[in-house]
Amino acid sequence: MSGIVPADGRTAVPSRVATVSLHTSPLDQPGTGDAGGLNVYVVEVARRMAERGVAVDVFTRATAPDLPPVVELAPGVSVRHVPAGPYGRMDKHALADHLCPFVFGMLRAEAQGDPGHYDLVHGHYWLSGRAGVMAARRWGVPLVQSMHTMARVKNASLAEGDAPEPELRVRGEDQLVHQADRLIANTEDEARQLREHYGARESRISVIPPGVDLEVFTPGARREALTRIGLPADTELLLFVGRVQRLKAPDVLVRAAAELLERDPSLRSRLVVGVVGGLSGAGMHEPRMLADLARSLGVADVVRMEPPQSRERLADYYRAATATVVPSHSESFGLVAVESQACGTPVVAARVGGLGTAVADGRSGILVEGHDPADYAAVLHRMITEPAWRAHLAEAAPAHAATLGWERTVDSLLAVYGESLAPHADPLPLAAGR
């Protein structure tokens, strides 16, 4: 193992980390398919790790036969495409049947390097963790695991019409929680969920919030941003950013817009509901759901559907918005909320999961109990009709986001990595155990 404890007693630093993102590639555009906040997390952390001298190999499933085996994402960061199962898009849960070839690809990549090529494995999402734990035990290195979302938590707050997560995932997560050397929770709320839903040991959980790129997501003039995205300067833009699926609840925003216009018809000429993102999950099977809903509510004329955007372009959407709305039924953190605040735009979000950390309620945005569109409409109406109040929230938003930069995330992760590299008095078995 090349990552060792220095002679002066400082915390060990790994030389090379194997990051596992099996079901979604860091090269994918966030907001499409299964790509979202997890992808952003993997990319941003890997880049900053490499800048600090820690090489990162990201293992992901090859989705096409012509993909190069290795792609350099950034200096010191490589994406390794591992064949596992049929090419093309696959349901995430079906990937559980193809873990063995994926692990074999990881082992083969390690065998091509010097002994002790990887010092540590970091899995992202339960499928990655299931593959990661097998590789980590084979290499004799620690496994650090980030769950990002958890089946029991999602099943406890399903959107109407959404299918529950399968028992296979529940069992897999239960085993993984007890196999991992360290668990990374995005928030204290997620740490509590790990303990209460999965019986995780508190001593193995580290709370490390994700971050935001404070160089890309910066405040800017709202009117100019509206012009750049092709909207009149007097537009009241209510913005949803993310994957279009029931879990993320973009329908709540569309229903809230209908409530808002019923309350104040004079807003119709300048109200725009912007939905920036692609279909995902069960949303792939109901591609017209949102458009049909808008038509049935009589607000199709104010709903503007946009594909996922580059980070620089997305920052303009945030700057242009009156408010960014995050009405998710379940959210491990809520990177969209932090990005919006970094751009100086307040957030109206559901009081679920990590959004209580991502949004400073009453200071940089407003948290809403439940998913009643009328409650969201009331807050959004106030945002529009009380500009001084909105300006107060907007002024505080960047300062709150600044406390959640990626550099802080990487500092904390490196500390956990170092602790994991220290000799273990309590070696962990491959089989699940409490």
Over residues 387-406, the pLDDT tens digits come to 999 999 999 999 999 999 99
In terms of domains, do 94 and 177 share one?
A: yes
In a domain, 24, yes or no: yes
Would the pLDDT of 425 be above 90? Answer: no
Domain of residue 266, CATH code: 3.40.50.2000
Task: Assign 282 a pLDDT band (cuts: 50, 70, 90).
Answer: low
Binding residues for 1D-myo-inositol 3-phosphate: 23, 34-39, 92, 125, 149, 169
In terms of domains, do 239 and 373 share one?
A: yes
In a domain, 206, yes or no: yes
Question: d(Cα 338, Cα 340) in Å, to the nearest integer?
Answer: 5
In terms of domains, do 119 and 244 share one?
A: no
In a domain, 217, yes or no: no
Question: d(Cα 88, Cα 405) in Å, to the nearest integer?
Answer: 35
Q: What are the pLDDT digits (tens) for 155-214?
A: 988 877 788 999 999 999 999 999 999 999 999 999 999 999 999 999 999 999 999 999
Q: What are the pLDDT digits (tens) for 206-243?
A: 999 999 999 999 999 999 999 999 999 999 999 999 98
pLDDT of residue 395: 97
Would the pLDDT of 286 be above 80? Answer: no
Question: d(Cα 317, Cα 46) in Å, to the nearest integer?
Answer: 26
Task: Assign 33 a pLDDT band (cuts: 50, 70, 90).
Answer: low
Would the pLDDT of 113 be above 80? Answer: yes
Q: Which domain holds residue 259?
A: 222-402
> Reading across the β-sheet that carries 70-74, which strands appear in turn?
70-74, 77-82, 55-61, 16-20, 120-124, 143-146, 182-185, 205-207
Q: What are the pLDDT digits (tens) for 259-269?
A: 999 999 999 99
Question: d(Cα 202, Cα 191) in Å, to the nearest integer?
Answer: 8
Q: What are the pLDDT digits (tens) for 39-69?
A: 999 999 999 999 999 999 999 999 999 999 9
In terms of domains, do 230 and 170 share one?
A: no
Tell me the HSE value of 328 on the side-chain side, using a 13 A CA sphere: 24
Q: What percent of the chain has pLDDT over 70?
A: 92
Binding residues for UDP-N-acetyl-alpha-D-glucosamine: 29-30, 37, 243, 248, 309, 331, 339
Taking the model in full, what pTM does it have?
0.85
In a domain, 137, yes or no: yes
In a domain, 159, yes or no: yes
What mean pLDDT do residues 318-338 have?
94
Task: Assign 31 a pLDDT band (cuts: 50, 70, 90).
Answer: low
pLDDT of residue 91: 80
In a domain, 7, yes or no: no
Would the pLDDT of 351 be above 60? Answer: yes
Q: β-pairing, 323-326 with 236-241?
A: parallel
In terms of domains, do 51 and 171 share one?
A: yes
In a domain, 1, yes or no: no
pLDDT of residue 9: 47
In terms of domains, do 127 and 166 share one?
A: yes
Q: What are the pLDDT digits (tens) for 331-342?
A: 888 899 999 999
Q: What are the pLDDT digits (tens) for 114-133?
A: 888 999 999 999 999 999 99
In terms of domains, do 138 and 162 share one?
A: yes
Number of domains in the chain: 2
In terms of domains, do 227 and 374 share one?
A: yes
Binding residues for Mg(2+): 318-319, 321, 345
In a domain, 432, yes or no: no
Show the tokens assigned to 348.
Answer: 């109206």
In terms of domains, do 392 and 417 share one?
A: no
Weakest mean pLDDT among 17-21, 169-173, 383-387, 430-434? 430-434
Q: Which residues contact residue 359 at a Cβ distance below 8 angstroms, ignoring those fewer than 6 apart?
A: 326, 334, 337, 341, 347, 349, 365, 366, 367, 400
In terms of domains, do 201 and 315 share one?
A: no
Weakest mean pLDDT among 45-59, 83-97, 136-150, 232-246? 83-97
Question: d(Cα 126, Cα 245) in Å, to the nearest integer?
Answer: 20
pLDDT of residue 195: 97
Binding residues: 23, 29-30, 34-39, 92, 125, 149, 169, 243, 248, 309, 318-319, 321, 331, 339, 345
Task: Assign 11 a pLDDT band (cuts: 50, 70, 90).
Answer: low
In terms of domains, do 49 and 172 share one?
A: yes
Among all chains, which residue has been given the structure tokens 């898009």? 89
In terms of domains, do 367 and 226 share one?
A: yes
pLDDT of residue 6: 47
